[in-house]
Amino acid sequence: MKNRGNITDRKILKNLFSKGRLPTDDHFKKLIDSTFNKVDDKIDIDEEDGLMIYPANKGELLSFFEDIDDESAKWVMLASKNKGLIIQEVKESGKQESKTSSEKENASALFLRQGGNIGIGTNTPSQKLEVKGIVSSQGRIGNYHDGKLAADGNWYNVFEKNLSGCNAYEITAYVQGKKGDGKYSLLHATAVCTHGNSKPKITKTCAHYGKWWNKIDIRWESRPTRVKLGNPQEKPDPKSDTWWSKIKALWEVKDINAYNLQIRTKGDYGNGITILYKVSILWDSNFLAPTTE
């Protein structure tokens, strides 16, 4: 333990100040050095803020030791000049400068930035979670957007609000027919689009059981009438279902600023059957200006 020579345990202190003993100046020094001082130790507590810890001269708030006899800490928590809180491993040398050197040289194990961004292995996270290293996990799931859509063979919009600009998404979708029907399909796709009136691309892998029309299909759509029809809340217009209306829709002018990702089953799975889907975002306009707060 560091500074052990300046402190005394409770058993010895009780003996020094026991009944009949005459404490000396040295005994009082031991007593004072063995207790916390709000000013010297930069620690305080009140009902409003709870326990308050102020950083040491070089920013340390807490140091963690493996053993009571260790002279140097294994881990340190310190206040960052980069508006954040760092949990950082101390180098084996144990030298003071190893844990207080520049943050560029010593990347933190965990960095909590003001504003909510978290960095692992980096002190400058530009997103909610940024990892400088290899990520290992049992799996991942998209939670940018999810939902259910009728598996009746019609195209439906994936997003409630139409899109604009450049976007890229990863989507997984699953549908299962009624028991005994032998209808299943599972889709994984990467969808990229640069404005509505463009040449969008979708890379997809689709597995299915049964007939080919059991498959799930996906597309980009920017023709206004088709985007409108893709809204699950929109009541279908009988006029739009005529053969002539469908032919005219093939030459309909695309809207550059309003488009959507649409999904369907190639055939009708029956009443009450829905496509379950989950979406993760790969690109949007926010990536052009990383958060630095």
Across 53-62, 98-107, 130-139, the highest mean pLDDT is recorded for 130-139
Element (H, E) at 25: helix 25-33
On whether residue 91 sits in a domain, the answer given is: yes
Which residue range forms the structural domain that includes residue 8? 1-31
Q: What is the mean pLDDT of residues 112-140?
A: 88
Which of 266, 284, 257, 272 shows the shortest CA–CA distance to 204? 266
- Which residues lie closer than 8 Å to 109 by C-beta, 6 or more apart? 75, 87, 88, 89, 120, 121
Please report, as a single letter, which amino acid is at residue 259: Y
Q: How many domains does the chain have?
A: 3
On whether residue 6 sits in a domain, the answer given is: yes
Residues 193 and 76 in one domain: no
Residues 269 and 177 in one domain: yes
Query: Side-chain half-sphere of 145: how many Cα atoms within 13 Å?
Result: 14
Residues 207 and 126 in one domain: no
Residues 27 and 80 in one domain: no
Residues 203 and 272 in one domain: yes
On whether residue 140 sits in a domain, the answer given is: no
Residues 163 and 279 in one domain: yes
114-118 contact pairs (CB < 8 A, 24+): 114/83, 114/84, 114/293, 115/83, 115/291, 115/293, 117/291, 117/293
Residues 24 and 65 in one domain: no
Q: What is the mean pLDDT of residues 208-223?
A: 95
Q: Residue 109's pLDDT is what?
A: 86
Backbone angles phi, psi at 85, to 5 degrees: -120, 130
Backbone angles phi, psi at 212, to 5 degrees: -65, -25
Q: Residue 105's pLDDT is what?
A: 44
Query: Running DSSP on this structure, what letter comes out for residue 259?
Result: B
Among 90-99, 174-183, 247-256, where is mean pLDDT lowest?
90-99
The sheet carrying 166-176 orders its strands as 145-150, 274-283, 166-176, 184-194, 201-209
Q: Where are the beta strands (DSSP E) in 107-158?
A: 110-113, 118-120, 129-131, 145-150, 156-157
Domain final position from 131, 154, 181: 131
Q: Residue 40's pLDDT is what?
A: 77
Residues 91 and 8 in one domain: no
Q: Which two tokens stand for residue 281?
A: 């975002």
Q: What is the mean pLDDT of residues 71-78?
A: 82
Q: Give the Cα separation of 29 and 26 in Å (integer).
A: 5
Given a cut of 90, whether residue 101 has pLDDT beyond it is: no
On whether residue 218 sits in a domain, the answer given is: yes
Q: Residue 99's pLDDT is what?
A: 43
- Residues β-bridged to residue 184: 176, 209
| 20: three-class secondary structure by DSSP | coil
% residues pLDDT > 90 (the chain):
36
Residues 121 and 244 in one domain: no
On whether residue 293 sits in a domain, the answer given is: no
- Which residues lie closer than 8 Å to 283 by C-beta, 6 or more apart? 166, 167, 168, 192
Q: Give the Cα separation of 133 and 110 in Å (integer).
A: 13
